[in-house]
Amino acid sequence: MVIPTYNEADNIREIVGRLRAAVPEAGILVADDNSPDGTGRIADELAAADDQIQVLHRPGKQGLGAAYIAGFRWAGEHGYDVVVEMDADGSHAPEELPRLLNALRSADVTIGSRWVPGGKVLNWPKYRHGVSRGGNLYVRMALRMPVRDATAGFRAYRMTALNKIDLGAIASQGYCFQVDLTWQASQAGLHIIEVPITFVERERGKSKMSSKIVYEAYWRVTAWGVRSRLDGLLRRKR
């Protein structure tokens, strides 16, 4: 379990406790970007009391994508076969993790999806629904990729699948990282399964979503879609 954190002192104890109860055999890596609110210190206290919890201290806020990639590499170096992404703010219920792991038996990647039948979102304002649904529709149209929730951040990967992706080529930060990694997995021919989940808006702390994150996703997805179509035209001409 890779959990990136930045100023999640109000949430980290609870989410780690729920994870340990939901999947007791899982190892947990908290990747903290030198949170000013002391999240890293709290994570160290949890790790000191539990051998299955580790902390990766990073020098500063470098973005969600960089934190996950650092966590993936750490997991690979320490011999893990499966890596899971999950937010620290309580939006992703640890109790739903066993269903993602069970689905991974017949897949390379499983995504906890809000926008497949059975998926739900609680406590979001209408504009957030619109941004997420509209953004995912645009991703499907631009990239011709059938994944319905490419921006989802609750996922499980086989390490063999991650090894087929050039993580060093992923430059996206923020939530566009999730689209980027989904696109790379799709291009690599990996089998992706979406599992319906209930996403709950955070109760404590501040959301990291911003207009800058939305803009980054829009222009990157547009560029990938244009490049993909041009590559297809060139292949047909040959």
CA geometry: angle 18, 206, 33, nearest 5 deg: 75
Task: Report domain 2-237's class.
Answer: alpha beta
Contact 86, 164 (CB under 8 A): no
**Distance in angstroms (rounded) separating the CA atoms of residues 122 and 216:** 26
pTM of the model: 0.90
**Domain-wise residue ranges, the chain:** 2-237
In Å, how far are 62, 86, 98, 142, 205 from 12, measured between CA atoms?
Answer: 19, 12, 20, 36, 11
In Å, how far are 135, 140, 158, 226 from 147, measured between CA atoms?
Answer: 12, 7, 18, 19
Q: Each residue's pLDDT tens digit in the chain (238 positions)? A: 999 999 999 999 999 999 999 999 999 999 999 999 999 999 999 999 999 999 999 998 888 899 999 999 999 999 999 999 999 999 999 999 999 999 999 999 999 999 999 999 999 999 889 989 999 999 999 999 999 999 999 999 999 999 999 998 887 776 789 999 999 999 999 999 999 999 998 766 565 555 666 777 788 888 888 987 787 777 777 6
